[in-house]
Every structure is written in C-alpha cells, then in structure tokens.
Amino acid sequence: MIATEAAMDFHQKNLECERDDVYLPSPEEIRELCAEIQAGWTEAERARRARGQAGRQRTVPVSAKRFARLVLDRNHRDGWAA
C-alpha cells in the first residue's frame, strides 16, 4: 500500500506540473465507486470474479505493421491523430 501511495504521489506531482485539467480521484472516491458498481453484481458475477475469470481475453498475434495501423486508425477515429 505504501508503494502505491508513493507512486500515486509521484504521478500526481508530474501531472500537476504538466497539466492542470486532469482529474485524479482520491482513494476514497475510488473505493466508493467500486462499492457502487459491485452492488449491482449478481452472485454468479461475484463468484466468477472471485475465481479470477473476470476478463478472460485471448492473445492474438499481430505483426508490428498491423499493430501500427490499428493504433493509427484508432487514434484517427478518436481525434488524436496529428
């Protein structure tokens, strides 16, 4: 927990130096929102997450060229393209 708080302090100080329009929720705000989200879980969902099967994702091999194209397409779609 101490390492996490130190890391958060470090990143928060860096973000404050670079940007002042970034919202960083407090640990208490994060806990409250997590509790609110988890309140809507079914017992089956809670059991599935407890087993560590929350976000089963499969790994798909992608070439560097294809990956770059995917990133550029996404950035363009989201308005991040230069």
Q: Tell me if 14 is assigned to some domain.
A: yes
Q: Tell me if 8 is assigned to some domain.
A: yes
DSSP string computed for 22-62: -----HHHHHHHHHHHHHT--HHHHHHHHTT-TT-------
Q: Tell me if 48 is assigned to some domain.
A: no
Q: What is the pTM of this model?
A: 0.39
Residues 6 or more apart in contact with residue 38 via CB below 8 angstroms: 46
Digit-coded pLDDT (tens) for 28-64: 999 999 999 999 999 988 888 887 765 566 677 888 8
Residue 13 domain boundaries: 2-40
Number of domains in the chain: 1
Q: What is the pLDDT of residue 32?
A: 95
Q: What is the pLDDT of residue 11?
A: 63
Q: Tell me if 13 is assigned to some domain.
A: yes
